[in-house]
Structure 1
Amino acid sequence: MIKCVLFDMDGVIVNTEPIGYKANQDMYKALGIIVPDSVYNTFVGNSDKNIVAKLKDLYEISLTHEELLEKQYEYYFKAFDTSDDVELLPGVKDLIIDLHSSGIKLIVASSASNAKIEKVFTRFGLHSYFDAKLSGEDFEFSKPNPAIYIEAANQSGFTKEECIVIEDSTNGIKAAKAAGIYCIGYESGLSIPQDTSEADIVITDFDQLNSNKIKGLPRTVII
């Protein structure tokens, strides 16, 4: 029986990708670089520090790694704090409440920084539902490396077979599967299109899930 759900955050719990895209494009313009969507899309699911490292590898940027990371946070937090467009994904809070009420442990394992996770959880009142919050900035390698999901499963206190992951990105799904954990791919239609073909099942609406269905995975049929 499933006893713990490991949530990605961006694109699963909250739709921050539009403001993240705008903030990053504004920063790229200020830096005098052009990052085409074909390159930008490969960043989805990566931690901020690894995205910065990739930018430094691809472009001539005079800022140090630390300075560029701070610049990225500056643009992102300004966009987050001033935007009314940041919203939870439809149905996700109802699912979170249902899972929590049924005794299923919840852990977020996000490539976002700790500061970004805290802002989202505070803004939408999510702290009380989650037992742990893991940030990609605390791991050397980003998704698709499985380290963050291996650690999340360890912190759950349950076996990998008693955990599932909900992910929306190609890199995140690859990380979950490499960690040996059952993965639900989520396609909201609101985020940058991703390849979810490696997920065990794919949903397009959180109404397709509830605590009873999740507890019965992988035997449960999700329609």
Structure 2
Amino acid sequence: MKIKAIIFDMDGTIIDTTDIWSKATDELIRLQKPDITPELLQAISKDIHGLALKATCNLIKDCLNSTDSVEELVNKKINIVSQLYSKGINFIPGFQEFYNYLKVRKLDTAVATNADAYSLKLAKTMLKLDNFFGNHIYDISYVNNIHKPNPDVYLYALNKINRQSNQCIAIEDSANGIKAAKSAGIFCIGINTSGDLETLSEADYIVDKYQDIDLDEISFKYF
């Protein structure tokens, strides 16, 4: 079976927003608990990595016994993220070159992201993602806001690009994303943009950067 398509995660995989979301999470947690210890902050932040926005705020509320509602926490985090986004975002180094290589090989491409519709709109506007993926950019609003590690957004993307799971590769940077891709039956590359290899332990193939992805090797060994 030949590789026919690549499905990308977005945050931390296509666009360099990992620090933005980490900073926004830390700021929101500190707003809720100004006296939080560095150890607890780090532990909560690690658990949150790769979760969707609402799931993140649910976890913060539960961990900190916040008096704010989940929706209030969501709105506060969106405001923080918007301020950070306004300072500018960029593609992950190597993504554009890798994407161009996929087009030369005539592979289909799509995005399956845990992002909410608002965050996706910001990213699409600032980096013109439609120029890369056309209409094949799918966030969790397409699947009743069922977020990763559930496979729903990947299964939806597969259906929309008319490919089977064994014809595709997913590229992810988080444990929840990897679980989602593999639950959908998709071979998953973990890209170490966060500097945390442990997060990628369940991936089928791990790289530090896009330049390390060898599709010929992957095709020969795994497809």
Q: Give the TM-score normalised by the residue count of structure 2.
A: 0.86
Shift of 1:181: 0.6
> Is the contact between residue 25 and residue 45 of structure 2 (CA under 8 Å) also seen in structure 1?
no
In the other structure, the counterpart of 1:89 is: 92
In the other structure, the counterpart of 1:129 is: 132
In 2, the alpha carbon distance for the partners of 1:150 and 1:69 equals: 26
Q: Give the TM-score normalised by the residue count of structure 1.
A: 0.86
In the other structure, the counterpart of 1:39 is: 44
Equivalent residue pairs, number: 215
In 2, the alpha carbon distance for the partners of 1:68 and 1:203 equals: 34
> Out of 201, 207, 210, which is 1:203 matched to?
207
CA separation of 1:220/1:119 partners in 2, compared to 1, >3 Å: closer, same or farther? farther
Shift of 1:191: 4.8
In the other structure, the counterpart of 2:102 is: 99
In 2, the alpha carbon distance for the partners of 1:218 and 1:169 equals: 23
In 2, the alpha carbon distance for the partners of 1:202 and 1:102 equals: 22
Shift of 1:122: 2.4
1:57-116 Cα distance to aligned partner (Å, 9 max, x none): 2222222222221111011111111x24x3211110111122234332211111111222
Residue pairs, 1:95-174, within 5 angstroms: 95-130=98-133, 131-137=135-141, 138-174=143-179
Q: Which has the higher helix share?
A: 2
In the other structure, the counterpart of 1:182 is: 187
1:102-160 Cα distance to aligned partner (Å, 9 max, x none): 33221111111122222223222321221411213544432222122121111111111
Residue pairs, 1:68-79, within 5 angstroms: 68-79=73-84
Q: Highest relative contact order (Cα 8 Å, sep 6+), 1 or 2? A: 1
Residue identity in the other structure for 2:9: D
Shift of 1:194: 4.1
> Is the contact between residue 17 and residue 191 of structure 1 (CA under 8 Å) also seen in structure 2?
no
Structure 1 segments unaligned to the other structure (5+ residues): none
> Is the contact between residue 169 and residue 194 of structure 1 (CA under 8 Å) also seen in structure 2?
no
> Is the contact between residue 188 and residue 204 of structure 2 (CA under 8 Å) also seen in structure 1?
yes
CA separation of 1:66/1:39 partners in 2, compared to 1, >3 Å: closer, same or farther? same
Matched, 1:14 2:15: yes
Matched residue SS, 2:137: strand
In 2, the alpha carbon distance for the partners of 1:42 and 1:24 equals: 11
In 1, the alpha carbon distance for the partners of 2:92 and 2:3 equals: 23
In 1, the alpha carbon distance for the partners of 2:190 and 2:145 equals: 25
